[in-house]
Amino acid sequence: MLKMVFTVDVEDWFCSPQLPLSDWEGKELRLEQPIRQILELLDGNEATGTFFVLGWIAERKPDLIKEIHRRGHEIASHGYAHRLVSDQSPKQFQHDIRTSKAILEHIIGEKVYGYRAPCFSMVDWGLDLLAEEGFVYDSSLMPSSSNALYSKFREATQAGQSSFKITERLWEIPLPVCRMGGIAVPWGGGGYFRLYPYPVFQAGARRILKNNGSFVFYIHPSDLDGGQPRIFNTSWLNGFRRYYGLRKSSAKIKHLLSDYTCVSIHHSYPHLRGCH
Ligand SMILES: [Zn+2]
């Protein structure tokens, strides 16, 4: 069976750069149920995953993070407050990644080595700071121009490789794109996974795996949460992109897990564990 890397960005339905941190307090935390659903699906298929956890969420749900870890999955960082890297000063970013790393390491009692930028918004200077703070890999490169937020950093041209050394002390695990008529279409998961019918997704994934030898899938708890408050549907198109296919996601993930051997980043890239 073909192998796929399975990742989850552990945040809740309101953790958006559109909503300042001060507005998060008091919002209903809904992620536990979809996370448990994902954990059951992974367990049922003897699969493992990498969970990129937001520090703000970890502070409020430490037992859930401990349980994910206890069930054999990798805990990595998604930063603390889900602010775009490009919206922060280097000092603010350093504080954000340092804080979230410390919170996660305190909860699981182990080192955390991986990082994913909110909305894949990594920038050049952020990579150097990641290495300085002890991260060994980044998984934020979405080599597509379909969204202005997506990472534009110096090694972006190397996309198409399953992993590569991006700085002296940091590896990059890029997200997959499917090339169609010269356009790089994001194919890794999240809203794209909800939008594409499963057979279409599957055909693209197979093509990417054949060309690159690797496929990094990602999903959010809110991608499975059909009952979430719909506060972000400011336009028809945005609402469609954000909320389409929520109720079918779990069945599609089940399909994916039976079609591929899914593993965490640690499992797939053992050299990224622990040393520079
Ligand atoms: Zn996120």
User: Domain extents for the chain?
Assistant: 3-275
Better-predicted residue by pLDDT, 188 or 105: 105
Token pair of 88, please?
């922060």
Tokens of 188: 């890794």
Task: Provide φ and ψ at 36, rounded to 5°.
Answer: -65, -35
Mean pLDDT, range 113-117, rounded to an integer? 97
11 Cα to the center of ligand 1, angstroms: 6
Q: How does pLDDT run across 68-93, given as a tens digit for each residue? A: 999 999 999 999 999 999 899 999 99
Contact 137, 272 (CB under 8 A): yes
pLDDT band for 136, please (50, 70, 90 cuts): very high
Q: Average pLDDT, stretch 244-256?
A: 83
Residue 68 contacts residue 1 (beta carbons within 8 Å): no
Give residue 242 CA to ligand 1 midpoint distance, Å: 13
In this predicted structure, what is the pLDDT of residue 157? 52
Ligand 1 centroid to Cα of residue 44, in Å, is 26
Which tens digit of pLDDT belongs to each residue from 16-36?
A: 888 889 999 999 999 999 999
Find all residues with CB under 8 Å of 33, minimum gap 6, and list them: 225
Q: How far is the CA of 33 from the centre of ligand 1 (A)?
A: 18
pLDDT of residue 246: 67
Contact between residue 117 and residue 85 where contact means Cβ atoms under 8 Å apart = yes
What's the whole-number mean pLDDT along residues 218-244? 75
Above 90 in pLDDT, residue 244?
A: no
The per-residue pLDDT for 276 is: 43
The whole-number pLDDT of residue 240 equals 60
User: Domain 3-275: which topology?
Assistant: TIM Barrel (3.20.20)
DSSP β-ladder status, 114-115 and 137-138: parallel
Residue 212 alpha carbon to ligand 1 centre in Å: 25
Cα–chain-centroid distance for residue 225? Answer: 17
How far apart are alpha carbons 149 and 120 in whole angstroms?
7
Q: How far apart are CA 84 and CA 18, in angstroms?
A: 10
pLDDT of residue 201: 93
Distance 121 CA to ligand 1 centre (A): 10
pLDDT, one tens digit per residue, over 202-220 is: 999 999 999 888 899 999 9
Residue 157 CA, ligand 1 centroid: distance in Å: 24
What pLDDT, in 10s, does the model give residues 5-15? 999 999 999 99
Q: Which pLDDT belongs to residue 238?
A: 66
Strands 3-10 and 216-219: parallel
pLDDT of residue 194: 87
Q: Which of 27 and 159 is assigned the larger pLDDT?
A: 27
Distance 116 CA to ligand 1 centre (A): 8
Largest CA-CA distance found in the chain, in angstroms, rounded: 48
- CA-to-CA distance for 32 and 12, rounded, in angstroms? 9
pLDDT of residue 53: 98
Alpha-carbon distance values, 242 to 63, 136, 191, 205 (Å)? 28, 31, 7, 22
Does pLDDT of 237 surpass 80? no
